[in-house]
Chains A and B, each alone.
Chain A
């Protein structure tokens, strides 16, 4: 495992599934978000504190998802998260969601930076870029 990757385990809840008894495609976005938050936390960066201290947010601006296999209720899955590209304009996260050796989802998610007060775009702060490039202690 690369030191620049984070792994977050998730147990699939019943509410994550749909009528077909598999995890609904939208549920994976929550897993990916959790993966990003925990990726940062393992690098000493609290997203909650960041928002409160700066008045800035890092909304999702673009996503690419490839669904390769289904997950079901009570599965234990792992979200492996890493940063592909981090610039002053945006951060591209990539993630793979697995159940054991089976790849369920491959994704790319782009985050921008906006100011809550005026809704206008801002540069990605260096604190965020540093956290994205930090090796982390979850590896």
Chain B
């Protein structure tokens, strides 16, 4: 893990989701990204999904496998995937 990536705290988890919401909204040029809305229903196609993954990888210094590419289907799913790749603090775990 790069040294500039800090363990994520409980407080920053909600920030993370909002950051992802903003990032996806910007790439997809959509105002609102509901938590559970399927990307395909929002007009986000598979190529845009790859763009979203590439942006997430750059911003959070994480890597998605090929299999995970197809799992980026909603904001919540994206959040879970990113969260699972970021180091957790003790407070967050509690």
**Interface residue ranges, A against B (CB under 8 Å):** 61, 87-90, 110, 112, 115, 120-123
Can you report 11 residue pairs joining A to B where beta carbons are below 8 Å apart? Answer: A87-B54, A88-B54, A89-B51, A89-B54, A112-B47, A120-B69, A120-B70, A121-B46, A121-B47, A121-B50, A122-B50
**Chain B, 21-66, CB within 8 A of any chain A CB:** 46-51, 53-54, 66
Chain B residues with Cβ below 8 Å from A123 are 50, 53-54, 66, 69
State which of B47, B66, B70 has its C-beta within 8 Å of the C-beta of A89.
Answer: B47
Flag if A115 contacts B48 (CB, 8 Å). Answer: no
Size of the B side of the interface (Cβ < 8 Å), in residues, is 11
Chain A residues with Cβ below 8 Å from B48 are 89
- Chain B interface, >50% SS class: helix
Flag if B51 contacts A87 (CB, 8 Å). Answer: yes
Chain A residue with the shortest CB-CB distance to B66: A122
Task: Tell me the smallest distance from the CB of A48 to a CB of chain B, in Å.
Answer: 23
Task: Tell me the smallest distance from the CB of B54 to a CB of chain A, in Å.
Answer: 5
Flag if B46 contacts A112 (CB, 8 Å). Answer: yes
Chain A residues with Cβ below 8 Å from B50 are 88-90, 121-123
Going nearest first, the 8 A-B pairs with the smallest beta carbon separation are: A89-B50, A121-B46, A89-B51, A88-B54, A89-B47, A90-B47, A120-B70, A112-B47
Most buried by B among A87, A110, A121, A122: A121
Task: Tell me the smallest distance from the CB of A81 to a CB of chain B, in Å.
Answer: 21
Q: Contacts A121-B69, A122-B50 given; 6 further ones with Cβ under 8 A?
A: A89-B51, A90-B50, A120-B69, A121-B49, A121-B70, A123-B54
State which of B47, B54, B66, B69 has its C-beta within 8 Å of the C-beta of A61.
Answer: B47
